[in-house]
Amino acid sequence: MRAEPKPSAETVVEVQNLTRRFGSFTAVAGISFAVRRGEIFGFLGPNGAGKSTTIRMLCGLLAPSSGSGRVAGFDIVREAEKIKTRIGYMSQKFSLYDELTVEENIDFYSGIYRLPKSKKIERKEWVLTMAGLRDHRHARTADLSGGWKQRLALGCAVLHEPPVLFLDEPTSGVDPNSRRQFWDLIYELSGQGVTVFVTTHYMEESEYCDRLGVIYRGELIALGTPRALKTEHMQGAVLEIECERPSDAMELVERLPEIKEAALFGKGLHAVTRDTNAAPAIQAIRAALASGGFRATKVESIVPTLEDVFVSLIEARDRAEAPQAEVRR
């Protein structure tokens, strides 16, 4: 007996005021958002921001302290077990059985998901091909490299072709090449109409997402497409500065009244201006660097990266909270 979800529409994941407390610590503080069918939705945030806690609540693994939500048409509080038939989940830690072979792990999960016999063989071959493990089907899982393990885990999570896929930091600890391959797989699944909810703390990965939620200290501090975040959430222009001794130069640049904040970035500096018109700030920086004896090769306005946005959002949040923290003390 399988209850069909309400034929409601395009929204596949939806939460309102979702909160989870562990004792006195609030891991997730009243977040609300919605994810549409076929979307790749990224959840970006530093470690401990509440990403895993959120994903676990969505998968029905953790009961929320308050708030509500629906996944694939089912209520995350009352219908957690029904959700589990419609999702694939890959936890942060590798969670297949090390002492079993590749094939035995796949067979175990196809038994758990009750795949019919004909489907079972077809899906197994699909996973083995997708993960590049056709020649290693009898290898112990423990002996596989990180990239292989991760693709095998993804394969086991989508054996039953779930419409929604939850990936909790799927690429942490994997080399960049494997990471790229993994994202190709995610695009492929998304192309087939699978909704993908993925958490990450890699900036370049979040650029691959259709939409992003930025989570910090349990709160959702920004939500939108990567492009929208870059254009709407930066109140000033971003300048790229290339000069000698950038860490010393940073102190100088930070003190300029035209500059809101500055941070080391690659071989140089990134600075955010107070005003959207960058021209006066560029002149001020050039003058300050020249008088300070730093030879500057480049000071120009650039399109901000997500990292600029992220740093700016987090600093804005910290500035807003710092006075409150003082008062509390």
Partner 1 sequence: MNLRRFWAVARKESLHVRRDPSSLGLALGIPMLMLLMFGYTLTLDVDHVPFVVWDQSGTSQSRALLAHFTASRYFDFRGTVENYGALEHVIDDRDASLVLVIPPEFARRLDARRPAPVQAVVDGSDSNTASIILGYTLGIISGFNQDITLAQVRRAPGAIPSPALDLRPRIWFNPDLESRNFIVPGIMAVIMGLIAALLTSLTIAREWERGTMEQLISTPVKPAELILGKLLPYLGIGMLDMVIAVLMAVFLFHVPLRGSVLLLFSVGGIFMVGTLAQGILISTLARQQLLASQVAMISTFLPAFLLSGFAFAIGNMPVAVQAITYIVPARYFVALVKGIFLRGVGIATLWPDILFLVIFALVVAGASIVFTAKKLR
Contact present, 49 and 215 (Cβ < 8 Å): yes
Upper half-sphere CA count for residue 182 (Cβ side, 13 Å): 26
- Residue closer to partner 1 by CB (options 31, 156) is 156
x/- binding map, residues 301-320, to partner 1, per CB under 8 A? --------------------
Locate 57 and state its tokens.
């609540």
Q: How many residues bind partner 1 (CB under 8 A)?
A: 33
What is the pairing mode between strands 195-200 and 40-44?
parallel
User: What is the Cα–Cα distance from 166 to 46, expressed in whole angstroms?
Assistant: 18
- Residue closer to partner 1 by CB (options 60, 304) is 60
Amino acid letter for position 238: V
x/- binding map, residues 53-92, to partner 1, per CB under 8 A? ---x--xxxxx----------------xx--xx-x-xxx-
- Residue closer to partner 1 by CB (options 164, 253) is 164
94 touching partner 1, by CB under 8 A: yes
Q: Which residues ranging from 157 to 216 are in contact with partner 1 (CB under 8 A)?
A: 157
Which residue blocks in 146-272 are alpha helix, DSSP H? 146-157, 176-191, 203-206, 226-232, 246-254
DSSP result, 26-89: EEEEEEEEEEETT-EEEEE--TTSSHHHHHHHHTTSS--SEEEEEETTEETTT-HHHHHHHEEE
x/- binding map, residues 262-281, to partner 1, per CB under 8 A? --------------------
Stretch that binds partner 1, among 93-101, 228-236, 270-278, 293-301 (CB under 8 A): 93-101
4 touching partner 1, by CB under 8 A: no
Q: Which residues ranging from 104 to 133 are in contact with partner 1 (CB under 8 A)?
A: 104, 107-114
Contact residues: partner 1, CB under 8 A: 56, 59-63, 80-81, 84-85, 87, 89-91, 93-100, 104, 107-114, 156-157
